[in-house]
Structure 1
Amino acid sequence: MQQTEQSRKEVILTQNPALKERKLRLRWLLVISSLPLFGIITAFGIAPQTSTQNVTISTIVENIELPIASAPLVSENLEHENYWQADQVRRDDTLASLMSRLNVQNSEALTFLRNDPDAKALASQLRPGRSIQAQINANGELLKLQYQLNQSSTLTVERTDTGYQAKTGEPVLEVHNVLKTAEIRSSLFAATDAADIPDSIAIQMAEIFSSDIDFHTDLRKGDRFVVIYEAKYDNGNLVSTGQVLAAEFTNQGKTYKAVMYRTPEGKVAYYTPEGKSLHKSFLRSPLEFTRISSGFTMGRFHPVLQKIRAHKGVDMAAPIGTRIKAPADGIVQFVGVKNGYGNVIYLQHAGGVTTVYGHLSRFAPGLRAGMKVSQGDIIGNVGMTGMATGPHLHYEFLLNGVHRDPLKVALPAAQPLAPQYRADFAAHSANLSAQLQLLSASTLASLD
């Protein structure tokens, strides 16, 4: 049966030569098309210009003689070496953990820090963030320690020939001059905040230029200023800012300059670079910084009386408790309660000038009629006693009994620089003015 079937296939193939030829062609086509593939495989296996001959591999071992060190890597006197390590107190620190982190390992030091009357302040006043420095030797023995108890006091522990000693005193601060520049976008404080300038410096600038610039109403967007001020550092950490040394303020296109000068007697005052005093006999405002809520006018609608009435002073809006300063030397004429003023103070000054302060929340302790006050003395605090709808200071300025606008009246200048100081001031002023000019020029260049 199988032979019969095979015979039938052979007969069919023999009878159909066309089919046999087609299969033969197909086989050759597959062989030819496979040739490029073999070439690709060969190319992947053998890189060009690579010898396919057998390569003999051998191992060579060679002895290399190391050079002799000219000096020992470790000091022979290591026990005499010491170094400083600085750190900050952490929230969960104890005296033991802090000393361990500073690599202090001698028990004598730890015992002293725990038991000495002065040194015990370290363990009892571990405040997160405060800085500490320790000098130790290679054996972990404490040689010296400094800890910042507060901004004005530093604990120092030092090993002597007779043992450890502790003392507390003022830190030795480094004083540096800081140069900053800023541009007014909305307010003075917004500009100083953006330039990372402390508020105390902003207040000083407002006082320095107060006789030429009304910081309540005169500031404009685009006004610029440069300032040089003192900053005190303890081991690189800012402790406090001091006084403005020099400043330049451009307000509405006009530039004002100020240079601080300290006389040998310690008296501080501000002058123009040419030596003209910027101080006035009167401060323009008895408040450090505020805003005017109601100006001087002969016809104002009174919010309490509900009728038109002259307002012979200015109302300075400020929070209750804001300190009020005497704008000039004078004598207390009256202190007490009076009509719509509520708590009020009258000061009599030289030249026929009287100033009035109304709606106070309280008076300075011990203030009484007949007492002398000096310019800048605190005489009371802002409130809203009497006829007042909100906390503010009502401030009046009278010249020979006639009310004048406190914000516009001409203020007399203070005494000029004494002749014996002019040469020293000229050299001092030239140095600071050059720094201001350099900083101002660089600021303008960056804006361009």
Structure 2
Amino acid sequence: MLPQNTLLHAHKMKLRWVIALSTLPLLGVVTAFGIMPQPNDAAEIRHTFTSDLTLPSAPEAIETDPVYWHSERVQRGDTVSELLRRMNVQDVAADDFLRRAADAHSLRQLRPGRSVQVRTSADSHLLALSYIDNDGNQTVITPAGDRFKVETQPGLAERRILVQTGEISSTLYDATDEADLPDNVANQLAEIFGGDIDFHRDLRRGDKFSILYEQSYLNGEPTRNARILAAEFINHGRTLQAFYFQNTQYGGDYFSPDGKSMRKAFLRSPIEFSRVSSGFSNARFHPVLNRWRAHKGVDYAAPIGTRVRATADGVVTVVGKQGGYGNVVMLEHQGMYQTVYGHLSGFAGGIHRGQRVSQGEIIGFVGMTGLASGPHLHYEFKVGGVQRDPLKVALPDGKPIGEAQQSAFLQATDSLHARLSLLRNTRIAQLD
């Protein structure tokens, strides 16, 4: 009789052989994946399965006519037909509708530069036409049977407060262009500080400005509606600040931090930007008369057609031709001040004697009529009928903030003052 442990050992060996033999087919499969089997081996392990499979039916090809998109900008003098031609629209019915229909009048009134988009079929028939009209409304015109459907939706309007800083290297306009400021914001900047800074003579290289302004957007595009809320100008080491405050139910104005009006009763210059070609003098050699005589005004050289603005609220006393002035406009202000604008090429439409004009209102255009050797504006400033140097005379201030509004003014401008200070400190840090 074998010992128990011997029997147990024999049983384990037998079990190992059974397991080894039973795993041979599996080992063959693993080997088949590991190396390329020989033909005989492959025949032994190859198994064939057959089954009927139901395949989804292939979708029928959908034939669609190609469509084309075109975009064009309205050009000066464009007609509807010419615009459609450039966009490859050959559709008599669409052309007739767009030229005549009252519903499509906003298309015919689009200003140059506006974009128009069309979608056309392969045969150049109109499938859709869209544009943003002059008022910012989105208009879409599509065929509807033998007619056309016009759908108009109001544009998306929004306001954003933007900040910008700049530094003078040559002229104010060069600096505002470099800062990417809109022209109307640059003009506001000049008007706000125009009573304290003569932008023809007082600018210095290195002068700096900071601006917070509110910009209106329509359908994501900036409009011409922008207004400065706060501004700072450092001119030759002197810091000037201005804040917008609505001091009446009809609107507001710009005031210094202590509530004094930034708007002088008179602008320093009747032209936004130009150069002084001849100053105020008691003895100047006249380039046309070829003799010495007094020059009781200031000449501003500018291209013919440059807009001339009234330097203050006033009443027109003279408009027409007068001696050496050529075409001239004369205004009276507050009973004791008069201004003269000579050598004009023409007058603003509708201007007439007795008409009231506002400060900054366009009254004429630069020319060279009368005794003028080149295009320029001759400007005179009179006090009690006596000519004074417009570049040096002390200009009267505008109306300050009233005592009743002082608290509201300080509260409204407190945050604007803080943001201007932040801009200034940020600019200094960048320079450092």
TM-score normalised to the size of structure 1?
Answer: 0.67
Query: How has the CA–CA distance of structure 1 residues 368 and 287 changed in structure 2, closer, same or farther, with 3 Å as cutoff?
Result: same
What is aligned with 2:236? 252
- CA deviation after TM superposition for structure 1 residue 363, in Å: 2.2
- CA deviation after TM superposition for structure 1 residue 380, in Å: 1.7
Query: How has the CA–CA distance of structure 1 residues 348 and 120 changed in structure 2, closer, same or farther, with 3 Å as cutoff?
Result: closer
C-alpha distance in structure 2 between counterparts of 1:254 and 1:88, whole Å? 55
AA aligned opposite 2:262: L
What is aligned with 2:192? 208
- CA deviation after TM superposition for structure 1 residue 229, in Å: 1.6
1:154 to 116, 132, 138: 138
| Alignment check: 8 A CA contact 1:229 1:241 kept | no
Q: Quick check: 293-302 or 118-127, which moved more?
A: 118-127
SS at match of 2:191: helix
AA aligned opposite 1:414: G
2:366 to 382, 386, 404: 382
C-alpha distance in structure 1 between counterparts of 2:286 and 2:109, whole Å? 59
| Alignment check: 8 A CA contact 2:326 2:371 kept | yes
C-alpha distance in structure 2 between counterparts of 1:198 and 1:315, whole Å? 28
What is aligned with 1:40? none
Give the CA RMSD over aligned residues: 3.6
SS at match of 1:407: coil
Is 1:412 aligned with 2:396?
Answer: yes
C-alpha distance in structure 2 between counterparts of 1:287 and 1:417, whole Å? 28
AA aligned opposite 2:208: R
C-alpha distance in structure 1 between counterparts of 2:153 and 2:308, whole Å? 34
C-alpha distance in structure 2 between counterparts of 1:215 and 1:280, whole Å? 15
1:225 to 209, 217, 220: 209
What is aligned with 1:236? 220
What is aligned with 1:140? none
What is aligned with 1:295? 279
Structure 1 gaps of 5+ residues are 1-55, 61-86, 97-111, 133-144, 159-163
| Alignment check: 8 A CA contact 2:216 2:225 kept | yes
SS at match of 1:59: helix
| Alignment check: 8 A CA contact 2:114 2:132 kept | no
What is aligned with 1:59? 33
- CA deviation after TM superposition for structure 1 residue 371, in Å: 3.0
Residues 59-104 of structure 1 deviation map (CA, whole Å, 9 limit, x = unaligned): 39xxxxxxxxxxxxxxxxxxxxxxxxxx9946875789xxxxxxxx
| Alignment check: 8 A CA contact 2:325 2:342 kept | yes
Query: How has the CA–CA distance of structure 1 residues 316 and 172 changed in structure 2, closer, same or farther, with 3 Å as cutoff?
Result: same
Is 1:359 aligned with 2:347?
Answer: no
Is 1:368 aligned with 2:352?
Answer: yes
What is aligned with 2:162? 178
C-alpha distance in structure 2 between counterparts of 1:94 and 1:279, whole Å? 54
- CA deviation after TM superposition for structure 1 residue 351, in Å: 4.7
C-alpha distance in structure 2 between counterparts of 1:276 and 1:399, whole Å? 24
What is aligned with 1:317? 301
| Alignment check: 8 A CA contact 2:139 2:151 kept | yes
Kindly report which structure 2 residues correspond to 1:31-110, keeping only aligned pairs within 5 A, or say none. 59=33, 89=71
SS at match of 2:387: strand
| Alignment check: 8 A CA contact 1:231 1:241 kept | yes
What is aligned with 1:444? 428
What is aligned with 1:20? none
| Alignment check: 8 A CA contact 1:216 1:290 kept | yes
| Alignment check: 8 A CA contact 1:225 1:250 kept | yes
Query: How has the CA–CA distance of structure 1 residues 390 and 417 changed in structure 2, closer, same or farther, with 3 Å as cutoff?
Result: same
Q: Percent identity?
A: 48
What is aligned with 2:385? 401
AA aligned opposite 1:59: F
Query: How has the CA–CA distance of structure 1 residues 126 and 355 changed in structure 2, closer, same or farther, with 3 Å as cutoff?
Result: closer
Query: How has the CA–CA distance of structure 1 residues 375 and 168 changed in structure 2, closer, same or farther, with 3 Å as cutoff?
Result: same
What is aligned with 1:271? 255
- CA deviation after TM superposition for structure 1 residue 341, in Å: 1.0
Residues 92-141 of structure 1 deviation map (CA, whole Å, 9 limit, x = unaligned): 75789xxxxxxxxxxxxxxx99x997479789989998488xxxxxxxxx
Is 1:432 aligned with 2:406?
Answer: no
Query: How has the CA–CA distance of structure 1 residues 95 and 171 changed in structure 2, closer, same or farther, with 3 Å as cutoff?
Result: farther
Structure with the greater alpha carbon radius of gyration = 1
| Alignment check: 8 A CA contact 2:72 2:116 kept | no
2:268 to 284, 292, 295: 284
- CA deviation after TM superposition for structure 1 residue 224, in Å: 0.9
AA aligned opposite 2:349: P
